[in-house]
Amino acid sequence: MLCLNDCVVVVVVVVRVYVWTDDHGRKLKCSAPLYFDYAMSYIQELLTDEDVFPTKTGSVFPAGFVFLVQKVFLLFFRTLAHIYWCHYRETLALGLHPHLNTLFAHLTLFCQQHGLLEPEDTEPMLDLITALGQQR
């Protein structure tokens, strides 16, 4: 794992610090590894919840489904943004940058196609999105 305990907060660019919002609406400033653990646990919980992501034919998706999908993709986007801003050298050293770029390109194109992220969400990564030729 690239992000160890030395990442005290989730940073994307110098001016963006993300905080986790718990089930009670409280904002928690936490280390990057803890933030991503919360995020991935939350996503896993949603994906395995039959009421949120029904798997049976004819099942109805819940009201608010699009909001939940937007949140999932925002969490994925923030994870990749943190890796780019704080751990890109490590991905280069490990030769993983082509995979990271491909993953990021697929994620951003999908989000653009389906309107899943707001412009203020993608703003910190706009230069990379533009460099990858994805800006519309």
Q: Which residues are annotated as a binding site?
A: 7, 82, 87
Binding site membership for Zn(2+): which residues? Answer: 7, 82, 87
- Collapsed DSSP state (helix, strand, coil) of residue 16: strand
Six-digit token string for 57: 């034919």
Tell which residue, 69, 82, 64, has the closest CA to residue 16.
Answer: 82
- Under 8 Å between Cβ of 51 and 45: no
Tell which residue, 84, 76, 74, has the closest CA to residue 2.
Answer: 84
Residues in the chain: 136
Looking at the DSSP bridge assignments, the partners of residue 18 are: 10
- Under 8 Å between Cβ of 78 and 18: yes
